[in-house]
Amino acid sequence: MVSRVIPVEPFDLVVFGATGDLAQRKILPALFRRYCAGQIPTGTRIIGAARSAHSPDEYRINLAQSLEKNLTASTFDPKDLAKFLELVSYVPLDGSGETGWSTLCEALSGAGTDRVQVFYFSVGPGLFGPLAERLHSYGLTNGATRIVVEKPFGHDLETARELNRTLASHFDEGQIYRIDHYLGKETVQNLMAVRFGNMLFEPLWNSQYVDHIQITVAETVGVLGREDYYERSGAMRDMMQNHLMQLLCLIAMEPPAKFDPDAVRDEKLKVIRALDPVEPYHIVRGQYAPASGAVGRDLNYRETVRNQRTRTESYIALKAHISNWRWAGTPFYLRTGKRLKARSSVINVMFKDAPHSIFGEEAGRHANHLKIRLQPNEGITLSVTIKEPGPGGMRLMDVPLDMSFAEALGPKGGDPADAYERLIMDVVRGNQTLFMRGDEVEAAWAWTDPIIADWEARGDVPKPYESGSTGPGDADLLLRRDTREWRGINP
């Protein structure tokens, strides 16, 4: 299988926050990988910008080390490194002051008005507005300018609206790329291919055949190193409002008329707007705590954030309903948490039992189940019921029809492009399909805000759960009350 590289014209990409964690771990490695793949042409200019005082040479030396550290041996190709670094320069700059901006103007001079210029805001959200204003006032924008904005996009509906207004005063919606890296994952796009490229699934994709859907995003890491941000955010704002909401939209949306940005995003928006408010007793919040006798760093949320009275949740599970013709009566169970048993992002579509078993009760009842794995081991598995082999009579069992991308797509598929690679090149090509539109983000906050307001009004205290477990016991009860069970959290 040969991967297809769609050529692009030389472009300019400025990474604000180029010395930070995200730029070093994801954005610059993604650019290097695309360069190695032959997709970034000579003449492209990649400019790092941050406050730290580095000369361009110092920055390139640090970047070379950081690329080696942040890429695996199979993805780091030293032979292309020197040539890639020739495209890279660095400008010390204050995003909220005036220092460095004239140097950036010089570094970007000489570009024609139709040259694509991407400004990646890999900085704290407090700088999004000041950066947008300065790009404008220093005359650094043209019709082909695009800005990439990282999460968090607002803290609630009001702040998201304010941010949308600020950006809209300098850029058209078509120039704003609100990134959610989950949407760049191979499997997420395959989810659309599976649903809308096959006759097999779409006729069954509704409440008549689907019993329920589970979306799990489980992490093994805690919040150490991000305590202040996390205390202000919690699992609801950090994960549910964006990543899980986006996955829910893709799994539940109607087929768009075509695979184009606004057609897809219109359908996603309809899903969010059709979400019912969530009943308080359909929500479980948790905080990780050490298992008895366990010793180690960051096993206790309250200790890590140094606040014994904190009410911020590191885990949330909830049951959502979409009030539309397709999904009336089908619950969507969503859960996400830190310090869980395994790192695993999975969507499980649980089909209903066959209406009648011709084999009798002793054969066992098995429902089909489609498992969509986002990480690790991206792939899709469909469980199908067959006869248990052997002479033991007609007994039924499940077997997986497995489409692991690593196996199905050969060496290239086994090393799928990182989500950031795909998304950054989409920005350069001007394709917004996998980016959130402003109204989508606002609609997601409009659903989330009342839930959070209710906890705050009631002084709700999250339930402790053991680090390394599957979450609080109440989350199991949430499904057991409906005579259902969570699928396991497995690596």
Nearer residue to ligand NAP within complex by CB, 115 or 237: 237
Residues in Cβ contact with 482 at an 8 Å cutoff, skipping those fewer than 6 apart: 212, 319, 331
Identified binder of ligand NAP from the candidate list 151, 170, 185, 321, rule CB under 6 A:
151
Residues in Cβ contact with 485 at an 8 Å cutoff, skipping those fewer than 6 apart: 476, 479
Query: Is residue 50 at the binding interface for ligand NAP, with CB under 6 A as the rule?
Result: yes
Nearer residue to ligand NAP within complex by CB, 98 or 172: 98
Identified binder of ligand NAP from the candidate list 3, 52, 62, 404, rule CB under 6 A:
52
Query: Is residue 21 at the binding interface for ligand NAP, with CB under 6 A as the rule?
Result: yes
CB of 45 to ligand NAP, least distance (A): 19
Identified binder of ligand NAP from the candidate list 95, 154, 184, 331, rule CB under 6 A:
95
Q: Tell me 318's DSSP state.
A: E
Identified binder of ligand NAP from the candidate list 3, 8, 10, 22, rule CB under 6 A:
22
Contact (Cβ atoms closer than 8 angstroms) between residue 14 and residue 104 = yes
- The one-letter code for the residue type at 392 is G
Q: Which of 243, 282, 321, 369 is catalytic?
A: 243
Nearer residue to ligand NAP within complex by CB, 19 or 330: 19
Nearer residue to ligand NAP within complex by CB, 3 or 96: 96
Structure tokens at 402: 């497995």
Query: Is residue 51 at the binding interface for ligand NAP, with CB under 6 A as the rule?
Result: yes
Nearer residue to ligand NAP within complex by CB, 52 or 75: 52
Nearer residue to ligand NAP within complex by CB, 24 or 310: 24
Phi-psi region of 110 (alpha: psi -120 to 50; beta: other; left: phi over 0): left
Query: Is residue 15 at the binding interface for ligand NAP, with CB under 6 A as the rule?
Result: no
Of the ranges 47-55, 263-271, 387-395, 396-404, which one interacts with ligand NAP (CB under 6 A)?
A: 47-55
Query: Is residue 150 at the binding interface for ligand NAP, with CB under 6 A as the rule?
Result: yes
CB of 251 to ligand NAP, least distance (A): 22
Identified binder of ligand NAP from the candidate list 8, 10, 64, 94, rule CB under 6 A:
94
Structure tokens at 349: 């579509």
**Is residue 243 annotated as a catalytic residue, yes or no?**
yes
CB of 347 to ligand NAP, least distance (A): 21
Contact (Cβ atoms closer than 8 angstroms) between residue 16 and residue 131 = yes
Please list every residue from 112 through 141 that binds ligand NAP, using CB under 6 A: 122-125, 127
**Euclidean distance between CA atoms 357 and 347, whole angstroms:** 27
Please list every residue from 64 through 93 that binds ligand NAP, using CB under 6 A: 93
- The one-letter code for the residue type at 374 is L
Residues in Cβ contact with 458 at an 8 Å cutoff, skipping those fewer than 6 apart: 280
Structure tokens at 426: 């989409």
CB of 255 to ligand NAP, least distance (A): 30
Residue nearest to ligand NAP (CB): 20
CB of 50 to ligand NAP, least distance (A): 3
Nearest to 175 by CA among 251, 116, 220: 116
Residue with tokens 């009342």: 450
**Euclidean distance between CA atoms 357 and 337, whole angstroms:** 38
Query: Is residue 352 at the binding interface for ligand NAP, with CB under 6 A as the rule?
Result: no
CB-neighbour burial class of residue 155 (10 A; exposed 0-12, middle 13-18, buried 19+): middle
Of the ranges 146-154, 164-172, 283-291, 370-378, which one interacts with ligand NAP (CB under 6 A)?
A: 146-154
CB of 105 to ligand NAP, least distance (A): 16
Identified binder of ligand NAP from the candidate list 17, 129, 379, 438, rule CB under 6 A:
17
Q: How many residues bind ligand NAP (CB under 6 A)?
A: 23
Nearest to 332 by CA among 240, 264, 262, 396: 240
CB of 198 to ligand NAP, least distance (A): 33
CB of 3 to ligand NAP, least distance (A): 26
**Euclidean distance between CA atoms 241 and 445, whole angstroms:** 7
Structure tokens at 444: 């997601």
Assign 3-state DSSP to the chain and report helix, strand, coil percentages, each to 5. 40, 20, 40
Of the ranges 45-53, 68-76, 169-177, 479-487, which one interacts with ligand NAP (CB under 6 A)?
A: 45-53
**Euclidean distance between CA atoms 11 and 46, whole angstroms:** 8
Buried b (16+ CB within 10 A) or exposed e, 280-296: eebbbbbbbbbeeeeee
CB of 180 to ligand NAP, least distance (A): 9
**Euclidean distance between CA atoms 240 and 242, whole angstroms:** 5
Distances, alpha carbon 40 to alpha carbons 49, 79, 110, 188, 428, in Å: 20, 16, 19, 24, 10
Query: Is residue 56 at the binding interface for ligand NAP, with CB under 6 A as the rule?
Result: no
Query: Is residue 473 at the binding interface for ligand NAP, with CB under 6 A as the rule?
Result: no
Nearest to 249 by CA among 320, 315, 316, 338: 320
Nearer residue to ligand NAP within complex by CB, 95 or 184: 95
- The one-letter code for the residue type at 2 is V
CB-neighbour burial class of residue 77 (10 A; exposed 0-12, middle 13-18, buried 19+): middle
Interface residue list for ligand NAP (CB under 6 A) = 16-23, 50-52, 93-96, 122-125, 127, 150-152
Instruction: Give the residue numbers annotated as catalytic, written as ranges.
Output: 243
